[in-house]
A and B are shown apart, each in its own frame.
Chain A
Amino acid sequence: MSSSPLLKMDRIGKRFGRTVALGDVTLDVRTAEVHALVGENGAGKSTLMKILAGAEIADAGSIEFAGRPFQPREPRDSLSAGIAMIYQEFNLAPHLTVEANLVLGREHAAARVFLAGPISAFVGGGQRRQCRSVLDRLGMRVSLDARVGELGVADQQMIEIARALLGGARLVIMDEPTSALASHEVQRLFEIVRQLRAEGISVIYISHFLEELDRIADRVTVLRDGRTIATGELSDWPRQRIIEAMVGRKVEEMYPRVEHEIGEPLLEIRDLAGRKIPRRASLTLHRGEILGIAGLVGAGRTEMLRTLFGLDPLRGGQAVLRGVRIERFTPGDWNARGVGMLSEDRKREGLAQNLSCIANITLPAVSRGSRFGLIGRRREHAASRDVGRVLKIKWATPRDKASALSGGNQQKVAMGRLLYSDAEVLLLDEPTRGIDVGAKVDLYRAIGELARHGKAIVMVSSYLPELFGVCDRIAVMSRGVLSPALGISELSPEKVMHLAVGE
């Protein structure tokens, strides 16, 4: 392991409007090392990596790459310097062939006329041969003429890595690379990462799965609230210490337990099936219960909630609410029966960004408190303020547009909607994704209090400690099939992961 520095990011700062995304971040990566970057959602990892990849521009601080000052203004700058980023959502053109994707943006002059394909094999200056050799280096046997959209997730990821190598990358950033992979695919990815390290390429490795770090990383940097909290050799940083550095408090304080009693069954779902996923999901939800749904990304957790709520088409299944069989699965009907949903996609679905917080909070129940169709404006203002007080929403006035609030407060507004509409069953899809720790704790407490008041909560989350900290029972979704829910005392994170990958 060489120790010569490759990258030095010094006192990096970045603001978005009123929100400080990065306060003071320092990161240094050595040549030929795997450097883990960890932190809670919203800690600033993505922003920092986007700055490095040229997708965002830093407000403050300096970057030194390979011994030279480096100021990326756009992604092309970073690519030509030798920094390649592999996003969680791949940047591939699914309709183009493997070869076309590999050479996209750097086609050989002649090949630009004929594009990729058999013709370019004659005029492309050995481009096709280069592509083939890179794929061989990664041990991939896919055809260069296969359409990328037809490949599996793991192969698509390898194409991304191959593209980085083809571009002469010296530093590869991987953002949550294992979140969509099965365990044997994770194994293969780790081998590739080790191979890259052996070839002298550095890797910045972002992951939520801390147990992976022991297998792959050399050093670790912990971010929290836009600051570098700690950095060091992984051997000096046991998992518990990393978690405490990430969270900034003892783990026990993170999940405030609110005593709640579990009552009679409220909602029963049997054999719910959507267009593709979920294939089969059954569960029974009781009053005063918090039921967690774990599983890999793409296993069908979100789709299950959406299908149940009538946002995605239903293929089959039954639901019984308070002993009454439900015939129509539409958001309007569920809403009228006291079932509400929180979307995982705050920006595009969760909130109407350019409407006021009042309008957002009262939307499912505007007609309540209205007379002859006229909205009682004073009532809704007062009620929104009460919701704000309960959830500790930070706003100047509830008339503020939702877009003016920080992520955590926006999520509280979306949650406040379910309080305002007095929903008895709350379907929460990743309720704490991308928000700061303080807001998380507020939301956990609110969820606990709701359970104490006899509401029933389904909570989908990709973050296992959160599920174990908050839920009474956990069910695991694996390839569209939901396992029976088990009490958290009968489960362990390892067991959940086993169920999730279907082993």
Chain B
Amino acid sequence: MSNTPSNPAAQGPNVPRIEAGDRESPFLGVFRALGSILGPLIGLILVITVFGIWQPDSFLSKEAFRSVFEHNYHYVIAAIGATFVIITAGIDLSVGSTMGLASVCCAMAAAGTHFPEFEWQQGLVIGGGVALLTGLCFGGWTLQRGWTRWRACFWAVVSATAAAGTGLAGWRLLSGVSIAPMPVLIALLVGVASGALVGLLNGTLITTLSLPPFIVTLATLGAVRGLTLYITGGIPIPNLPESISKLHYGPWSPWLLGISPNLWITIAVVVVSIPLLHFTVFGRYAFAIGSNERTARLCGVHVERWKTLCYVIAGSTAGLAGAIMTASLGGRPTNFEGLELIAIAAVVIGGTSLFGGEGTVAGSILGVLMLGFLNTGCTMASLSSYVQPIFIGATIVIAAAIDRFRHLGR
């Protein structure tokens, strides 16, 4: 081992310089982007072609395409949120329930509502529930940070007690209050906020307790549906104002540029979410967490924070989707049952890997459209509506198999 001076020709690993000359043809970028959604694109064209040949008159008409857009834009919004979660290698099964809750909350805000008079029994149940969740999450979080068991336990109890008091006092303040009908825009925001809260609950439980997302969102799937039925008493919200149904004229309506407000909202979500996932630091973190959570942590990414944000996004989009559908469906507590499967299916068909780290927003949109055309096509071919789920199931298997082959082929 000699201490010879270094070879002068060897370049030292200095801080890399940023060279302006290194750039790539913009066409290549476009091709790359196209390549990543090629699968779902071909699938969509295939579905349209098959039904076009089968039912050329009815399927290849303006009405058919219109019907696809009319009946699917809310899935687009929900599927985009689900994409964020699935890219982090998670899953959100509570999408359908969240949409139902948001729809009901939005309807209640728009129609005006009256909170029931205060009862101790109810107040204690609410306080207890809040206390339980807070205590669990706080305890899990502190244990993860390496606190001793007794210290974590003590502070979990303290925080739970505080939360119980807050919950009880909050309910005491709210009970008996009447709320006047709100403007439609505010009502929509109430819907989004309720969805975001469900997302926050999902994300917090998953990250603080390191529970599998499947289990947590399976639990909220049931609990949120129950909550929705409970607050409405199982009946639709009466006295919905006329103004809210104006959101939904159908896609080609006499509104701004001949497009209905609902579709504008959908377009806005798409326009915001594509750069958010693919071009921002947050989006990169989501991919990194999904691809390898441990690597992300090693690189100093605040995994818990960004993962929770992904669930909040999924909850918010589900909330928005549910809220804007109040326009056409009204505030029925049983709306959107089982819709989570369609949202997840669309995302998977769109080429997003359930193992995380791979996926696109555009693919998920194409996935929704593909399911939409499949549905409309089946209806037009007068196939029994019982057959459609079978087709959807087959499509999911094929999409997942193609994804598998792609990975094995390497």
**Residues of A bordering B, CB below 8 Å:** 17, 251-252, 255-259, 275, 309, 311, 313-315, 330-336, 341, 343, 348-355, 359-360, 363-364, 366-367, 369-370, 373-375, 377-379, 381-383, 385-387, 389-391, 399, 403-404, 417, 419-420, 422, 445-446, 448-450, 452-453, 468-469
CB contact under 8 A between A334 and B146, given known A373-B282, A387-B16: no
| B284 shortest CB reach to chain A, Å | 5
Whether the Cβ atoms of B281 and A366 lie closer than 8 Å is yes
Q: Are A366 and B285 in contact (CB under 8 A)?
A: yes
Residue of chain A at shortest CB distance from B356: A354
B284 with A351: CB separation less than 8 A: no
B405 CB-CB contact with A under 8 Å: no
B288 CB → nearest A CB, Å:
5
From residue B41, how far is it (CB to closest CB) to chain A in Å?
21
Assuming the contacts A364-B300, A366-B281, asked whether A359 and B288 have C-beta atoms less than 8 A apart, the reply is yes
Looking at chain A's contact residues, the main secondary structure is helix
**B residues at A contact (CB < 8 Å):** 1-7, 10-20, 22-24, 32, 145-146, 275, 279-282, 284-285, 287-288, 291-292, 294-302, 353, 357-358, 410
Nearest chain B residue, comparing its CB with the CB of A329: B146
Which B residue sits closest to A274, measured CB to CB? B146
Q: Known: A352-B357, A359-B287, A359-B288. Is A331-B297 also a contact (CB below 8 A)?
A: yes
Known: A355-B291, A374-B275. A331 touches B300 (CB 8 A): yes
Q: Is the CB of B12 within 8 A of A449?
A: yes
Bound together, the chains give a CA A314 to CA B23 distance in angstroms of 45
Chain B residues near A389 (CB-CB < 8 A): 11
A378 touches B22 (CB 8 A): yes
Give me 12 A-to-B residue pairs in the complex whose CB atoms sit less than 8 angstroms apart, sorted by A's number. A251-B1, A256-B7, A257-B5, A258-B6, A331-B299, A377-B279, A382-B22, A382-B23, A386-B16, A390-B13, A422-B15, A452-B6
Query: Besides the contacts A349-B294, A355-B291, A364-B301, what 11 more A-B pairs have beta carbons closer than 8 Å?
Result: A257-B5, A332-B301, A335-B299, A349-B295, A350-B298, A352-B287, A355-B292, A363-B299, A364-B299, A374-B280, A404-B410
Tell me whether A448 and B6 are in contact (CB under 8 A).
yes
Report yes or no: B24 in contact with A370, Cβ–Cβ below 8 A: no
Candidates B4, B14, B295; contact of A352 at CB < 8 Å: B295
State the CA gap A72–B300 with chains docked (Å).
45
**B15 contacts A449, CB within 8 Å?**
no
Are B13's CB and A449's CB within 8 A? yes
**Do B357 and A354 touch (CB < 8 A)?**
yes
Q: Which residues of B contact A422 (CB under 8 A)?
A: 15
Collect the chain A residues with CB atoms within 8 Å of residue B353's CB.
354
Q: Which of B32, B282, B295 contacts A363 (CB 8 A)?
A: B295
Contact among B20, B24, B280 for A375, CB-based, below 8 A: B280
List, in ascending order, chain A residues with CB within 8 A of B279's CB: 374-375, 377
CB distance from B142 to the nearest CB of A (A): 11
Q: Is A355 touching B288 in the complex (CB atoms < 8 A)? A: yes
Inter-subunit contact B281/A367 (CB<8 Å): yes
**A-B complex: 8 closest residue pairs judged by Cβ atoms:** A335-B300, A313-B146, A386-B16, A352-B291, A382-B22, A449-B12, A364-B299, A352-B292
**Cβ–Cβ < 8 Å partners of A332 in chain B:** 300-302
Question: A422 to B358, alpha carbons, bound, how many Å?
Answer: 28
Chain B residues, Cβ within 8 Å of A360: 295
Alpha-carbon distance A417/B11, docked complex (angstroms): 18
A383 and B16 contacting across the interface, CB-CB below 8 Å: yes
A457 CB to closest chain B CB (Å) equals 12
Q: Find chain B residues with CB under 8 A from A354 CB.
A: 291, 353, 357-358
Q: In the complex the two chains form, is A382's CB within 8 Å of B19's CB?
A: yes
Q: Are A257 and B22 in contact (CB under 8 A)?
A: no
How far does the Cβ of A451 sit from chain B's closest Cβ, in whole Å? 10
How far apart are the CA atoms of A440 and B1 in the complex, in Å?
A: 16
Q: Nearest chain A CB to B358's CB is how many angstroms away?
A: 6
A403 & B410 in contact (Cβ 8 Å cutoff):
yes
- What is the CB-to-nearest-CB distance from B128 to chain A, in angstroms, rounded to a whole number? 31
- Of A258, A311, A314, A403, the residue contacting B298 (CB under 8 A) is A311
Q: Which residue of A lies closest to B2 (CB)?
A: A252
- Chain B residues lying within 8 Å of A355, measured Cβ to Cβ, are 287-288, 291-292, 357
CB-defined contacts of A385 to chain B, threshold 8 Å: 22
Task: Give CA–CA (A258, B410) in the complex, Å.
Answer: 40
Residues of chain B contacted by A378 (CB below 8 angstroms): 22-24
A419–B410 CB distance below 8 A: no
Contact among A252, A375, A453 with B284 in the assembled complex (CB-CB below 8 Å): A375
CB–CB A351/B292 < 8 A: yes
- Report the bound CA distance from A313 to B145 in whole Å: 6
- B358 surroundings in chain A (CB, below 8 A): 354
| A446 / chain B contacts, CB cutoff of 8 Å | 13
Are B14 and A453 in touch, CB under 8 angstroms? yes
List the B side residues contacting A381 at CB < 8 Å: 22, 24
Which of A259, A387, A417 has a CB less than 8 Å from the CB of B6? A259
Q: Establish whether residues B146 and A275, one from each chain, have CB atoms under 8 Å apart when the complex forms.
A: yes
Kindly list chain A residues whose C-beta atoms are within 8 Å of the C-beta of B32: 399
Residue of A nearest to B32 (CB): A399
